[in-house]
Every structure is written in structure tokens, then in C-alpha cells.
A = this chain, B = another copy of it.
Amino acid sequence: MTEIIILGAGNVGYHLANKFIETPDVKLVQIYNRNIESIRGFKKTTPITDNLTHLKKADIYIICVTDEIIPQIAKAIKHKEALIVHTSGSTPLDVLNFHTFYGVFYPLQTFSKNRKINFNTVPICIEVNKPEKLVLLENLGKKISNHVYHINSEQRKEIHKAAVFVNNFVNHLYYLGEQICKNSSIDPKILYPLIRETGKKIETLTPFEAQTGPARRGDIKTIQNHLNNLQSNNKEIYKLLSQSIADTYGQKL
């Protein structure tokens, strides 16, 4: 039985806590959050606290707070034999180096409170400072996911950057596409099959092979046509991404 404590109940902490509560061989000993109200819902199953001096003992402390305050929260943990991990894609392992055993447990996924996640498919990127704690963390990952990767801090930073491109920026393009539809009184749902297929396509073709559209073809007339009635910011995005696609395929725009 691995005993764990989760510190911070933002999007990541909230989903991890819910997952670990239902996971066999893991005991969620406590949840800490600076705002006790937002973890009140866990009270039935798990002790909660908003006081860092009341932290219980556990094998692994999982810190799920904003990057900047990870060290500050970690300092409150007084149990020297425990493994202290953070869950941040962009924060190096070393911010925890005042502890004896520390590591990273980074679930590579987009989490929103209102959407349940199937953890089995979520890649868990782990890293530890001392090899003797690797199996402990790896086993914790394997209890919730079929995809546990050993990823060092430098690689994790690159993965996180790639994730910004394929998630944050992609979702924003969905938003812009939706706005374009709404401005012409078209139900944005008309785009959903295309969005789904775009995501599924790259499981059988590489993104390089999967690319279609005016910039890929060097179809300047259509591009100009689109640019003519785009607003300033979206026009810049359209131009820059079209140019980047054209460059990728040696097309002249």
C-alpha cells in the first residue's frame, strides 16, 4: 500500500486526487489546499487541510500547485524519508533539491475540472534524484496509467513546449474557427467532424503527410481571399501559419 498526500487542488491535483481515491493499493492520506472550500467535496473520503503545519506522514507527497510556489510548499514537508514530487512540465527537478528524495510526476494531458480523464492512456513522465526511489514512483504511475516514461528535466521542458503547440495553440485555433462560424450565423458544430478527423488522421499518417489546404498547395488566390476579410490579429496568425506551412513544403506565397 503506497500512502500519498496531494498538495494543491487545481485542475491537476483535483483529477489526480479523484483517481487515486479509486485506485487499489494506494491510500490518499490527505489533501492540502490553501483554500479549504474548494476541497470540501473530498471530505467524505479523505482528510483535508489548509494548514501546512498539519501535514500527515506519507510515502509520496505530490505537489500540484502553480510553478512559482512549488519550493515554498515543498519546504513545509518535514518527513525526511518521503519522496517529494511536483507535477509541472516546465519546472526542473532541482527546485526540490533541499529534500533528500525528490522527483517529478508529470501527467502529459490537459485537465479541466468539468471533464473526466481516462488516466489509462495519459503518459506519465517521471524523474527522481536518487535511483532507490525510482521503482516506488514508477509503480505509482503504473497503478493509474499504461504509459510511464522516464524523462529528464531537459526533455520534459521540450515535451511541455510541444504540448503548448499541440494543445494550447490548437485549442485556441478551435476557438478562432468557432468565432468565424458564429460571426456568419453558422453553428460551430459543423466543424467538429473535421476537428475529430484532423486529430485521428495523424495516427495513420504523419502530420507532414496529412497536411492539406491552400498553403500546402501554394494557392495564393484562396489565401488572399481569406486574408481580405480577416480581422487584424487573426490576419497575422493566418499569414504566419500559412507561411510556415508553405516553407515546410517549399511553396512560394
Contacts and interface: CB of A to CB of B under 8 A. Distances in A.
Contact of A190 (B108, B175, B207, B244): B108
Given A112-B201, A192-B202, A192-B203, A211 B172 contact: yes
Interface residues of A, number: 97
Give the copy number: 2
Given A172-B241, A184-B158, A213 B177 contact: no
Cβ-closest 5 pairs across A and B: A168-B213, A199-B199, A175-B207, A166-B177, A162-B177
A198 B166 contact: yes
A222 B163 CA distance: 13
Nearest to A175: B207
A219 B114 CA distance: 22
Contacts of A233: 243-244, 247
A240 B245 CA distance: 16
Interface stretch (A73-81, A93-101, A148-156): A148-156
